[in-house]
Every structure is written in structure tokens, then in C-alpha cells.
Amino acid sequence: MTVAAALRDALGDIVDVAEESLEAARADRSGHSSPGRPLAVVHAETVAHVQQTMRIATASRTPVVVRGAGTGLAGAANAGPGEIVLSTLRMNRVLEVRADDLFAVVEPGILNAELNGLLAEQGLWWPPDPASRDISTVGGNIATGAGGLLCAKYGVVRDAVLAIDIVLADGRLLHLGHRSVKGVTGLDLTSLVIGSEGTLGVVVGATLKLRRIVEGEICTITALFPTVRAAASGSAAITASGTQPAIMELIDATSLAAVHALLKLSVPAAGASQLTIQTDGPAARAEADHIAAVLRDSGGEVTLTYDREEGERLLAIRRSIHAALAALGTTLIEDVSVPRSALPAMFDEIARIEKQYGLTIPTVAHAGDGNLHPNFIFAGAEVPDHVWEAADDLFRAAIRLGGTLTGEHGIGMLKSRWLATELGDDQWELQRQIKGVFDPLGILNPGKVFSVA
């Protein structure tokens, strides 16, 4: 009996072998695809479905790729020939909300925006705020260790998860973590799983740390600067001032021009780059006034509004970046982080790389935490060699500045070749050994993260 037949015999109609479904599972939003189609997609609806799938996979030594909405940007959920796709997208329920203890128990397939829409009815929210919040799942956020626009003030996914339910490669179900605010019993396996990109097990549930919706105003500031370096210096000045905005986003000149064209806004001045900042809470107005003064002193042309709706219109410019850049050509969306004080130097490195390799690299940044998204624009479907060479230069520059290969997108298949450069050989080998404890047969997401190819 084939593996697909064994899955169908055990699980019935949730096993999907339609050509369209198999083809879709080859790629995520990174623009990269596996070399061929997987053998089946299992649309798991219960924990038992996940466990049965993993038992069959272990018995047959068949690789498994866990997949949510497929919105990742590192190729971590791309499935290829001979692999089972285990989709958790149909596992999308909110199982419990405890407003008194500020936590919710959810399944992995629920979308960020959908979850926060439900929580808002009780005056609650889950802070992680990726730009893809309308289309990305909580399980995917956990798999990649996602961040977003609000993380400088409210933290990333790792700061907002109390516990995880995970199915191991052999089908065993473990509950990691706790419901209490504090808990240091044993090793912190919950944090280990966050950001593990499907290489350690299948996340089937999560206990999320909630916040009450912030009371008070939301104020929005935009500041135009003549160069991206000047904008980066402006953001560093805000950080140095001790003020902590909820959102601080930097848009370079190429990105700003592209999004203005997409949204049919007036053409910005040549070379102009923009900071978009929001403050919230009871002190929002005073903080916004202080930030505006800092930006003016830094040479910025400042616009400040206390109107929430007008602020959201200004922030929509940042949220439209990906669509705007897609209109310029094929885009390799990258993700590096540096210390916030190193942002100006990192933009200098990007300018150097653009000139050296003859490329345009539009870049946006979560300036509040030093996370940059350089976008390599090129023609055609395959990434040219000189683009990979430029990316290599960029990754090494970030590491030289005290930064990291990825702040929120993950390693996946696209960055595995650089992982040992950042970790060092000893740590890279130790992490591979830890994966082997969770997945001794190596069937979970092979060829991703710790690939030796």
C-alpha cells in the first residue's frame, strides 16, 4: 500500500491528492518553489488527525512538511516530491478565553486578524502584529517567531505565548509551558519550539498571553527626510530620547515612491524617505509632541495628527509596501536585524551593495527594533546569481554590525546556507543534535533550516 493510500485509508476525505492542491503546496510567498509536487495534503481538523498522520509518516519514513496559510517568506513550508503536507489551516477554533487571567487557548489555523476581532469583543487583544495579519495564522507566527509593526513596544511572538501543544514526529502529544504568568520548571521547551519552523514537531494548540486593549489616544506622526540615512538617524534619535512609540516604521525613497504610485498619491520629492510613528495610551499626545520635536531637530519635515482615522490612513502607506514593490518586478523579500543604533550604518551598507552589484534594493524597516526588510528587485522567476551574491554581502554586513540573518521571517530553505556563519560551527552542530532528539528519523521539514547541502 502506498503512503497516500495508507493516509486515505486511515483518514478518509481529508487526504487531498488533487493536482491543484499539490501544486499550491510547492511554494509560499517567498517566490520560490520546490522541484516537484508532494504526494498528498492532509487537511487536519483535529489533534487525532495530526497524530495519525505522524504515526503513518514515522512507520513509512516519509518526510512531513507542516503548513498553515502559506504566507511565509523563507520557503519553510514548501513541500516537494515524496513528502506529506500536513495542513493545520482547518484547525482554527478559539478553545478558551480567560479575561480574568489574560490568556486564550487557540488552534494553530486561526488568522491573526480574526483572533483579534474576536478578542476585541471582550476588550482584549494579542499583540503580535505582522504586516500579513489578515492572512497569516497564529501557528505560522509561532513557527517563524514572527514580529511585526508593534513589537518594539509590545514584544514579538515569543513574548506572547505561555504554552504550546505539540505532536512529535512519532505521534506523541506533549503540553509545553503553563497557564501561569510565572513558571520556570525544567528547560524552556516552549521558547525552543517558537521559531523552530516545523523542524521539531507539529504545533496543534497554543496558550496565548493577552493584553487589555490600550485606553487613550492614538497619535500618528510622519516625517520626511532628504535621505534614508537621515531618516535612520532620526529614528535613532527617538530611541536615544527614551520615548517608546508603539510603531516606528522607516520607508526608503524607492519604496515610498512605489507606494505613492500604487495609492495614486502625490509624488514625493526625489530621494525623500519617511518615518511613520504612532504613540498610544494615556500619554500618547505628550509622547507624540516630544517625538515631533526630536524629528524636527533632526531635520525632518513633520506632520502630526491626533485623529485616529487619519492616522490609520497614514499607516496604510506602510501596510501597502509589499503590493507596491511587487509592481516593480520579481521581489526577493529579505529580513535582517541590527542594533537600533546601527540602522544608519546598515543603510550605508545597503547603498554600497546597490552600487557594487548594480541593483535596486528598496528597503523598509521596523525602525523601533532595528529590523530591516531589503527587497531585491529583478526580472524573471529565478533569483540570478549576482542577486544571491549581493544578498550574501548584505547578510554578512548585518552580522558584522552585531545583527542577525533574520528578525522574523525565519531561515527556511532560503537562508540555511548562511546559518552556520552566524551561529558558529559548534552551536550549529549542537542545534542539529537538539533537532535529532525531537525528530530522530529526520522526517520533519527536511532540507530546511539545518540543511547541509
137 neighbors 69 (Cβ within 8 angstroms)? yes
Name the pairing type of β-strands 273-281 and 247-251: antiparallel
pLDDT of residue 133: 84
Distance separating alpha carbons of residues 107 and 190, to the nearest angstrom: 16
What's the rounded mean pLDDT across residues 189-196? Answer: 98
Task: Report in angstroms the alpha-carbon separations of 359 from 346, 374, 376.
Answer: 16, 11, 7
Name the pairing type of β-strands 363-366 and 173-177: unpaired
Q: Which residues pair with 218 in a beta bridge?
A: 280
For residue 142, pLDDT over 60 is answered with: yes
For residue 453, pLDDT over 60 is answered with: no
pLDDT of residue 189: 98
CA dihedral (53, 57, 63, 67) in degrees, to 10, reads 10
Architecture of the 217-400 domain: 3-Layer(aba) Sandwich (3.40)
- List all residues 6 or more positions away from 391 whose beta carbon is below 8 Å from its beta carbon: 332, 334, 376
* Secondary structure of residue 330 in the 3-state scheme: strand
Task: Give the domain ranges of the chain.
Answer: 3-87, 94-212, 217-400, 415-453
What's the rounded mean pLDDT across residues 311-332? Answer: 91
Place of cell 534619535: 237
Three-point CA angle 315, 317, 323, nearest 5° = 130
pTM of the shown model: 0.94
Quick check: do 3-87 and 217-400 share a fold?
no
64 neighbors 443 (Cβ within 8 angstroms)? yes
**What does the pLDDT look like over 346-388, one tens digit per residue?**
999 999 999 999 999 999 999 999 999 999 999 887 889 999 9
* Secondary structure of residue 111 in the 3-state scheme: strand
Domain 3-87 class in CATH: alpha beta
Three-point CA angle 260, 217, 98, nearest 5° = 105
What's the rounded mean pLDDT across residues 74-94? Answer: 97
Place of cell 512531513: 64
pLDDT of residue 374: 97
CATH of 94-212, one of 3.30.565.10, 1.10.10.60, 3.30.465.10, 3.40.50.970: 3.30.465.10
DSSP per residue over 231-277, as a string?
HHHHHHHHHHHT---SEEEEE-HHHHHHHHHHTTPPPPPTT-EEEEE
Phi then psi for residue 74, to 5 deg, are -130, 5
**What does the pLDDT look like over 265-278, one tens digit per residue?**
999 999 999 999 99
* Secondary structure of residue 222 in the 3-state scheme: strand
For residue 413, pLDDT over 80 is answered with: yes
